[in-house]
Amino acid sequence: MGKIALVFSGQGAQYPGMGKDLYENSSAAKAVYDMADSIRKGTSSQCFEGTAEELSVTVNTQPTVFTADLAAAEAVKEKGIHIDYLAGFSLGEIAALGFGGMMSYEDAFKLVCKRAELMDNAAKSTPGAMVAVMKLPPEKVQEICDGIDECWPVNYNSPAQVVVATNKDNVDLLIQKVKEAKGRAVALPVSGAFHSPYMEDAAQGLSEYLKGVELNAPKIPIYANYTALPYEGDYKSLIVNQCKNPVRWQVTVENLIAQGVDTFIEVGVGKTLTGLIKKINKDVTAIKVENTEDLEALSAIKE
């Protein structure tokens, strides 16, 4: 058997009731929710009882998805699954930093709350949007973006899916250009142009905030969105640059596979990463874990 990578889901897959099953059935998962509630009162009830609209607000989305991610990861650990590598998509990377021992869970949760606040403020100051582009190669998506002011590929998700960030006024033009190129485009329900130059103020705020945060060397190799390589060197710059630069997910997955990973376990919310991984390489195993039924299915890969 090859190596196992734990991957942490990102913003966008959240839904009312997320994580409740694990909270009720895993003591390790419950401890994560209790930790979050001790810092940000009502986080667990927001996960379990919040409306879809409430959960879509960035300052709520990031702390709740982070908590669901980390709780699911702890439940996997509780099952005795050995993990060789870690990676997270966007805010999922912060959960990976906590799980990988680079900071305490408390510090990681406080960081994600601050990150959400800063990114929300940046989004409000410069109204942006994000559009998923399918059925076109990244090179063609880049070509389309080059022809539109303030338009950038920001999530390189798979060979046939790239998410673009742009000014809100450009969305209709972008979708039209994608259709003309025989691709498909879908506007995403997010409140800003994340991972783009519009997040410069958020990045500066993160840099300032991180001056007061101590980071340790990772206990498990963690792949960074910014480089698609393991965390090394200036850890804080990787966190800062991540929020204003593209998520290089496809290359990250390819690099993990090159290291011998043949099993990916997506923890947290939904199965977005599981689907993307299978599109990147159909020969690997990709499993989601967001409830106890999913946990039981892991027995087949336990060493």
- Residue 287, strand partner residues: 265
- Count of H helices and E strands in the chain? 14, 9
pLDDT at position 107 is 97
CA 26/CA 70 separation, integer angstroms: 12
CA 206/CA 116 separation, integer angstroms: 10
CA 108/CA 127 separation, integer angstroms: 28
**Beta-strand pair 184-187/128-134:** antiparallel
First to last CA, the chain: 9
CA 249/CA 122 separation, integer angstroms: 23
* DSSP label of 217: P
**Packed helices 200-210 and 105-125: angle between N→C axes, nearest 10 degrees:** 150
CA 126/CA 242 separation, integer angstroms: 19
Q: Which residues are catalytic?
A: 90, 195
CA 193/CA 131 separation, integer angstroms: 9
The set of residues, in sequence order, having a beta carbon less than 8 Å from that of 302 and lying 6+ positions away, is 79, 80, 81
Assigned token pair, 234: 């200036």
**Packed helices 200-210 and 235-242: angle between N→C axes, nearest 10 degrees:** 150
Q: Please give the chain's pLDDT, 303 residues, in tens.
A: 699 999 999 988 899 999 999 999 999 999 999 999 999 999 999 999 999 999 989 999 999 999 999 999 999 999 999 999 999 999 999 999 999 999 999 999 999 999 999 999 999 999 899 999 999 999 999 999 999 999 999 999 999 899 999 999 999 999 999 999 999 999 987 889 999 999 999 999 999 999 999 999 999 999 999 999 999 999 999 999 999 999 999 999 999 999 999 999 999 999 999 999 999 999 999 999 999 999 988 877 754
pLDDT at position 50 is 95
pLDDT at position 1 is 67
pLDDT at position 159 is 93
Sign of CA dihedral 25, 267, 97, 41: negative
Domains identified in the chain and CATH numbers = 3-124+196-300 (3.40.366.10), 127-187 (3.30.70.250)
Overall residue count recorded for the chain in this entry:
303
- Residue 162, strand partner residues: 133, 156
pTM above 0.75, yes or no: yes
User: How distant, in Å, are the alpha carbons of 88, 205, 206, 252 from that of 239?
Assistant: 12, 12, 8, 16
pLDDT at position 302 is 58
CB 91 within 8 A of CB 287: no
Diameter of the chain by CA atoms? Answer: 52
pLDDT digits (tens, 9 = 90+) for 103-129: 999 999 999 999 999 999 999 999 899
Three-state SS at 201: helix
Assigned token pair, 196: 């783009």
**Packed helices 58-78 and 92-99: angle between N→C axes, nearest 10 degrees:** 40
CB 83 within 8 A of CB 6: yes
Three-state SS at 136: coil
Comparing CA positions, the residue from 267, 228, 263 lying closest to residue 98 is: 267
